[in-house]
Amino acid sequence: MRQAGRFLPQYRALRAKHDLLELCHQPELAAQVTLLPVERLKVDAAIIFADILLPFEPLGLGLSFTAGEGPHIAHPIRDAARVAALPRVDPERELSYVLEAVRLAARALPPGVPLIGFAGAPFTLASYAIEGGASRSFARTKGFMHGEPAAWHALLDRLAELVGRYLAAQAGAGARALQLFDSWVGCLSPADYREYVLPHSRRALELAGAAGVPVIHFGTDTATFLEDFAAAGGDVIGVDWRIPLDEAWRRIGARAIQGNLDPAALLAPSAALAERVRDVLARAGRRPGHIFNLGHGVLPETPVEAAQTVVELVHGC
């Protein structure tokens, strides 16, 4: 999953010299980090090293990262006037450093190892923009959604256009697949997802899909509305570990699936880890269209050897 390099010693050595935004802003460093999991773990694909909140910089929201506390948004969006004042963003120009990192990484990868581009989904981006950072309750987000529905839809419409064009630009720069991350969408009820989010995710996925490469649509905690989540679009539906893979596949129908080992399983003893990996594979049943992956990002405390074990187990089956 995204930013798999963060648990590797080589990545930590780079972070000791550069903060997160520096790594993202310098294409050579971003490409270097992108290659780390391929070189060390021999995984079958790479995903570009970036952060989902990078579009906030040209939007004028004031993005920074605080050690131990995560992202901070200096100018959060709290009313309709702030939505209306958002500038138009051209990802080809204002996120060009990400596109250059894509070009560099795509050229450096071994033959047969594709590069995946990614972006944050409209809801997840909106939640960060409204909350001013990470949240557990998403109270401000839901309050804005219900209290200012017209402004909410205007905001998500703008974000959908931006991330859809941003993803398509990554494909143009050399990404051979794309992934839309809706990391926090599971905080919603099924009805709220359908009314306030699904149309905007669909728009972003349509714009990304127009680039002609496969698109993965991933979210966490989506089990209660998985059919609606799949209906929003995507060639591949990513699922987390909170639902058995075979049940999720039955519910999304004739679609490829990505998932869904619990990242915490990599902290377990090797025998227990192997059992969990084999369970996911057994539920896939060698059916075509399964991308074995974690159900969310690699935990920073993950032993490198555990990640290598997972890759070897999957390749050996």
Q: Please confirm, yes or no, whether 11 is among the known catalytic residues.
A: no
Q: Please confirm, yes or no, whether 51 is among the known catalytic residues.
A: yes
- Give 33-65 pLDDT, tens digit per residue: 999 999 999 999 999 999 999 999 999 999 999
Torsion sign over Cα 147, 151, 157, 163: negative
Please spell the DSSP secondary structure of 185-196, one letter per residue. GGGS-HHHHHHH
Out of 40, 51, 158, 182, the active site residue is: 51
Residue 199 has a pLDDT of: 98
Q: Domain 4-238 maps to which CATH number in 3.40.50.11270, 3.30.450.40, 1.10.3720.10, 3.20.20.210? A: 3.20.20.210
Lowest mean pLDDT among 23-27, 77-81, 119-123, 298-302: 298-302
User: How many C-beta atoms surround the C-beta of residue 239 within 10 A?
Assistant: 27
pTM of the predicted model as reported, rounded to 2 decimal places: 0.96
Out of 11, 128, 193, 196, the active site residue is: 128
- Give 159-177 pLDDT, tens digit per residue: 999 999 999 999 999 999 9
- The secondary structure of 210-256, three-state, reads CCCCCEEEEECCCHHHHHHHHHCCCCEEECCCCCCHHHHHHHHCCCE
Q: Please confirm, yes or no, whether 278 is among the known catalytic residues.
A: no
- Give 247-291 pLDDT, tens digit per residue: 999 999 999 999 999 999 999 999 999 999 999 999 999 999 999
Q: Is residue 219 a contact partner of residue 162, using CB atoms and an 8 Å limit?
A: no
